[in-house]
Each structure stands twice: as C-alpha cells, then as structure tokens.
Amino acid sequence: MKLVRFGEAGAERPGLIDASGTLRDLSAVVPDIAGDALTARGLERIRAANASGLPEGPAEARLGPCVGGVRNFVGVGLNYADHAAETGLRIPREPILFNKAPNCIVGPNDDVMLPKAHQKVDWEVEIAFVVGDRASNVAEEDALGHIAGVCICNDVTERHFQTERSGQWTKGKGCPTFGPLGPWLVTLDEAGDLDALDMHLDLNGRRMQTGTTSTMIFKIPYLLSYISTFMTLDPGDVVTTGTPPGVGMAMDPPVFLKAGDVMRLGVTGLGEQEQTVIGHRAAEDSRGSNAYRSGFDIPRS
C-alpha cells in the first residue's frame, strides 16, 4: 500500500493511493496514518477496506508528511560506505545515532526554511522506516515485523551547527522544516528489495547525489534491532537511515543551500519530493514552521 496524508498543514486527512494512482480518503477507516493505524492490526484494517469504494481525495491536494503524530525521530549517520569515503571519515564500528526534532517534519513538497544564523545548510536524500508494532530488544531476524513501511526523507542539515558548534549532531538536524517525509509511506510488501533501491537528488536541475542502498553499512533490520536495545520504539516513530555520496559539504569547493534553490529527490518505488528553499522568517519562531503554508502573509526571498 501507498499511504498518504493530505490537506492543509496541521489538518491532514489519511489516505491511500490506489492501483490506478487515485487518491482515496481513508477518514472513515482510520483517524490518521499514525499510532495504532500503523500496527500490524491497523494495517490489516486498511487493507480490508474496499479502496475503489472510498471517496476520492482532491486531485490537487497538498500532500503532508506521510506519517502523523511522530514522537521520536531518530537519524543514523555515516551509514553508506561511499558517503563515509567522500567525507574522509572511517566507517563506524556501530551505528551513529542522533535525534531530529519531530516538529521539524514537513510534507514532501513543502518549503525548506533556512534557519537564523545559518551558514552551511546541506541536503541528504535518505530512506526512512516507520515503526509499526512496538519494538524493544527485538532480534534482527524479527525486525521487519515491527516496521510499518518506508518512505523518503530529506535529512536537511546545517553543517556549521552540526560540526562546528560543539556537542551532538542534533544541533544541526532539527531546525524547522528540516525533515520532509513522503510522498508516500510504502508498506514492505510493495517496497521492493530494501538492499537494492536507487536514490538520487538534484539541485536546481543538476544531479548531486546518485546512490543505492546496496552500499548501506548497517541494513534496516539490523538498525531496528540495534536501536531497540537502547530505547523503545513506538508505532509511528521514524528512523532515517543515512545518505549516499554527493552532499554539499564534500564538494570542492563545498556547495550549500541558498534561498531560491530547488531540491528534487527520489528513491525507486517510493516516489519523489521537491522543495524550494526560502529565507529565515522571524515570524516563524512564534507562529510555527507551518506559518507560510497556513495563510500567514510571509513573503519569500
């Protein structure tokens, strides 16, 4: 299944993309693509619905983040061998973990806002998995049974905050709008071979990242098992699993995002995202990162 959330930011409705590519409204089946709806029982309830009998959603509807109510957003660093090589860093012996703020999550085509005092904002096309059934101390061989599906994540990162402001990577990872998710949450039965998915990211029409999950160091089942030894993962938690080579900081000279840039990224079978970069707006600090998509008159740069 390809599950979606559609509608105005903060008021999204649950939906799915049917076999013909039509958006269907799941509001009569589940309250949201979140929480219990993502457990094995919840997904079976959605599968049992007659998709062709569900109401059609608006053809031009905004797609929101493909999972709602996220309480824990975990990232994995340096998880592609070829990306580690381009940064000049050693392959880690264990997964490098960091947190992204759940409230940095936005829709797949929403604007990405440069933070106040930004210097080096970068892009990272990634595959994220969304937890289905609660996971605590899960064996690797049982891990896929705890995953509801996978989606695209752009792990937008402020490198100056991340590496030059001392302390944890979290500083550069959780700024408002730094977590576009979607367009779809694709269940594992339709996601294909998770170890052989092609990934790409274009900046202003120029191909920057080209990669494949075959170079992933720690695979998705291992990651869920590993993370679940340190924390309990609940339904709807998101884990984004690392990026292939081609990030801006590794270029010579480095390239970083500026207002007006357009990122377009995709993963085989998981769809595509497109974001326009906008300048920081002080009004966002008090109104929230969705302000410019929710009717406030905030000009773009």
Task: Supply the CATH number for residue 226's domain.
Answer: 3.90.850.10
Sequence-separated (6 or more) residues with CB below 8 Å from residue 149: 1, 3, 38, 129, 130, 132, 185, 186, 187, 188, 191
Contact assessment for residue 131 and residue 235, using Cβ atoms and an 8 Å cutoff: yes
Q: Helix (H) and strand (E) counts for the chain?
A: 5, 18
pLDDT in tens, 60-83: 999 999 999 999 999 999 999 988
The predicted-structure confidence for 205-240, as pLDDT tens digits, reads as follows 999 999 999 999 999 999 999 999 999 999 999 999
Please check whether residue 21 lies inside any domain of the structure: no
Whole-model pTM: value is: 0.92
Rounded CA gap, 67 and 38, in Å? Answer: 9
Residue 108 lies in a domain: yes
Residue 300 lies in a domain: no
**Could you give phi then psi for residue 41, rounded to 5 degrees?**
-65, -40
Instruction: Report how many domains make up the chain.
Output: 1
Domain annotation covers residue 128: yes
144 falls within a domain: yes
Q: Per-residue DSSP letters for 115-171?
A: PTT-S-EE--EEEEEEE-S-BSS--GGGGGGGEEEEEEEE--EEHHHHHHSSS-GGG
Residue 71 β-bridge partners: none
Q: What is the pLDDT of residues 121-143, one digit of tens each?
A: 999 999 999 999 999 999 999 99
Q: Identify the domain containing residue 221 by its residue range.
A: 68-293
Residues 6+ apart with CB under 8 A from 165: 171, 172
